[in-house]
Structures are given as structure tokens and as C-alpha cells.
Amino acid sequence: MTELHRLDATDQAALLRSGDVSAVELVQHHLDRIATYGERLGAFITVTADRALMQAGAADERRTAGGDIPPMLGVPTAIKDLNSTAGVPTTFGSVAMRDFVPQVNAYVVDMMEAAGLISLGKTNTPEFGLSSYTDNDLVGPARTPWDLSRNAGGSSGGAATSIAAGLIPFAQGTDGGGSIRIPASACGIFGFKPSRGRVSMGPTGSDVSGLAGNGPLSRSVRDAATMLDLIAHPMPGDLRPLPEPRVHFAQWITYEPKRLRIARWSATHLEGIDPQPDAMEAWERASRLLESLGHEIIDITNPFAAELEPQFNVIWSTGIATVPIPPEAEHQLRANTRYWRERGHRTSGEELMAAMQFVEATSRQAMIDLDSYDAFLTPTLAMPPQPVEWFNASGDPVEDHWRELQFTPYTALYNMSGQPAASLPLHWNDDGLPIGVMLAARSGDDGPLFSLCAQVEAAAPWAERRPPAFS
């Protein structure tokens, strides 16, 4: 039998259904890998081994008893440490929140548990998910398993490196400016940011800005589609709920896409920031692959305005300024967090409203301009995974922010527009580092985007390409 950690979640679920493996065996196998590799990778902030094994035993008893069996009963996963988990510490990657234990689950966690998934713990994230790299004062950086001297990307870096190294088969992440797609690119896996409103942020998460949402990270497109089917259910009271999809996303991946008109651009919307040769090579190769599949590739000018970046920062900083930190704990925050909170505290209500209106109007115009195309292709990142010390080597939060913009000038645009977007692991550079490419679609077209991603995966499979030290 193939080693359990080399199977995706879909195949693991099939083994559980057939009785070839028990949930206890499957969970223990992955816990053993976490014990062996987790600290080296900076993958987890909290590991809930006893809780997971107890749930696995209950899953085996439930399966033996028969009756209504959830579709993923006994399959291991993990929850990002930005999402509340009742009875389990949720630190938000911050020393100031080290002892916080929520009383309720995030709604997405409820949906995952209802499907039978078993969380092995809370994955590493930067403080309050603020950065495009994962590092904090609790457990330190998350590292890509392709080169442990380099960061896994952020803010879902712990989830991405866990999947790439075979500690879990798939996981949930959040994405407010690229936080699913960035680490997916840096770790050589698949990451999917759904359309705005597709997955609830309830009951305690905020959807006021519309920037952030939950989504899947996985090795296979089918696993991501399966997870989105499990969690894409509106919660009463959601501000921007999308209706239940008429066709399951797992069904969409079986459909052959029609001939699509795919617009592509590589120039960033930010002055002085250009993609490095590795990113360009990945983008060009992906373009040729899509053409070979029969799609029409059209070069266009980047449709997003440079003025979006400072307005995004107004919204971003105001959001972090509203996080309720006890005054006596402010000194425990990292310098970058204090910088963004101070910026947010200086923002007036009029400035925040103007920024939100500008982002909405400007991204809407971009969507109007792009409406004649079916999909959009750019690099995911402008450069390969970077050394763990590169982003904040200066200790200056302003320089840190500039370096993050150089690293990821593409992803946040789709958070502002609300479009679905995915990072696909189609390229590795000469140093063996993964370089993702990003495909996006019109808002609400998550299903057709899955169909296209599955077609690309079938034409250029990546499942067997694994980091040698963790295979």
C-alpha cells in the first residue's frame, strides 16, 4: 500500500470507507509525522494529539455502527490559528493572545467537523495574519519544505508547509490579501481563494471590508473542490452570502472546459516593482500549456489602478486597529503589528469610508473592463520563496512593507475585487524552489475556475513532485 501521507484526502477517505485503514491508524500516522517534522518546519502552534485520537476512536465506532456516515469521517486536517476553535487555544499568532481559549467555533470549523474531519491542531500564522510571510514570537517562522532556510509564505504558511511535507492531506486557510495563494506558491501546492461571500466568516469573524475569506489548501484540485463543497454554506446573518451552488465543485472538476478566452498580464500595478525571471518563466510556460489545451491567450494591460494599494492599506490598517488588545498587552505585539495599528488609529471614519468606496468603484470598473474574458493569468508571486530573515531584516516596518509588496504585488487585487483565484504549482526553478502561477475567474465563477484548474492539473500533474527530505 502507498504510504498514507502520500495519499490525498480523497483517497484517504476511500481507504476509511473500505475498512483498509482505521481513523485511529490514519490520525496516528500523521501525528507521528508532525512529531518528527513539525517543529523543524514551524508548521503548528498547537498540536491537539489526545483530542484528535479520541475523535478518531469515536469515528471508528461510528463507522462500525453504520447509519448516516459523514463523507470525510476520520480524515485528518488542521485549522489555521486565526480561526476560533472552542476549547482549543487560538493565539492569532500573538504572544498577547497566548492564553485565549474561545467558547465557540468559527462557522467554517463547524462545517468541517460536521463532515467528519479531525483537526490535529492549529497551524502557524503571523501575528493576526498581517504579513505575506509566516513568523511570530510564539514558535517562529514557518519554512517551505523545499528549502528550510526560506519562509513558507503567509499568512497560511503553517497549513501550506504541513500539506507539502505530508503532515496533513489538506487544510483550511484564510485569505485577506493572498494568504492562501502566497504560501501555496511558496510550498508547491494548490491554493484556492473562493469568491467573496462563498464561505462564511461567522460567527465572530468580520466581513465588513469584504477582503478576507476562508478557503482550501491541498495537493490536488479534487481535494480543494471537496473541501469547498463542505464549507460553502451560508450562515444566517452573513453580510454577503452567495447561494448554495447548484452544482457541487467536486462535480465541476469532471467537466471539460470549453475553449476559453484567457487574458494575461505580468506587469504589476505598482511603480518600481517587476516580476523576477523565475516568475516570468513560470507564467510563460503556463501560457503555452493553456494554449496547448485549446484556449485563446490574449495579452492585455494590467487593468488594476496603482491607487488601489494605498486605499487597501487604509482598510487593512483600520481592521488591525480594531482588534481588542488589552492595553497592558500592547507592548507584547511585534513592531510590524504596532506599526499597522498606529496607522489604523490615525484613520478617520471619513477616510475609511472613502477608501472602501474607492476600492469598490475601481475594482468594479476593472471587472467591467475584463467582462469579455473567461479567466485571467498572472504570476502568483513576483519572486521565489525568500530567506526567513529577508522581510524584516532591517527591523523597520516601512521597509518590511516595501519588501512584501515586491514579493506579492498580484494577489490582493482579487481580494479587493472579490473574484475567485487559485495558485497552481506548475514550475520549479533551477534551485528546486516552487514558483506558482495564478488563474482567476469572474466573481461567482468558482465552479468554472475549478474545471479549468483540473484540466491543467491533468495535463501537467504535480502530485508526485514532493520535497525530497519529507517524501
Confirm whether 155 is a catalytic residue. Answer: yes
CA distance 448 to 452: 6
Within its chain, how far is the Cα of 287 from the centroid?
23
Q: C-alpha distances in angstroms, 117 versus 71, 127, 182, 409?
A: 9, 26, 25, 34
Q: How far is CA 442 from CA 286, 374, 414, in A?
A: 19, 7, 10
Catalytic residue among 22, 80, 193, 218: 80
At which residue does the C-alpha cell 531584516 appear? 393
Q: Give dist(CA 163, CA 97) in Å, integer.
A: 26
The question of whether 179 is a catalytic residue gets the answer yes
Alpha helices in 191-334 (DSSP H): 221-231, 249-252, 277-292, 308-321
Query: What's the CA gap between 267 and 17, in Å, rounded?
Result: 48
Q: Residue ranges of the alpha helices (H) in 303-411? A: 308-321, 335-345, 349-369, 397-407
20 class by beta-carbon count within 10 Å (0-12 exposed, 13-18 middle, 19+ buried): exposed
- Among 22, 84, 179, 218, the active-site one is 179
112, 84 Cβ separation under 8 angstroms: no
Place of cell 490579501: 177
C-alpha closest to that of 313 among 360, 276, 254, 356: 356
Annotation says 193 is catalytic: no
Give, as one character, the DSSP assignment of residue 44. Answer: E
CA distance 330 to 276: 38
CA distance 227 to 215: 8
Instruction: Report the C-alpha dihedral over residues 423, 230, 165, 90, rounded to 10 degrees.
Output: 100
DSSP notation for 217-236 = EESSHHHHHHHHHHH--PPT
The active-site residue, picked from 22, 119, 131, 155, is 155
State the cell numbers at 144. 517551505
Question: Pseudo-torsion of CA 199, 202, 205, 206, nearest 10°?
Answer: 80
The conformational region for residue 355 under phi > 0 = left, psi -120 to 50 = alpha, else beta, is: alpha
Which own/partner contact pairs does 292-295 have at CB distance under 8 Å and 24+ positions apart? 292/459, 293/455, 293/456, 293/459, 294/259, 295/257, 295/259, 295/260, 295/261, 295/262
Among residues 4, 458, 424, 13, which one has the least CA distance to residue 219?
Answer: 424
Catalogue the active-site residues: 80, 155, 179
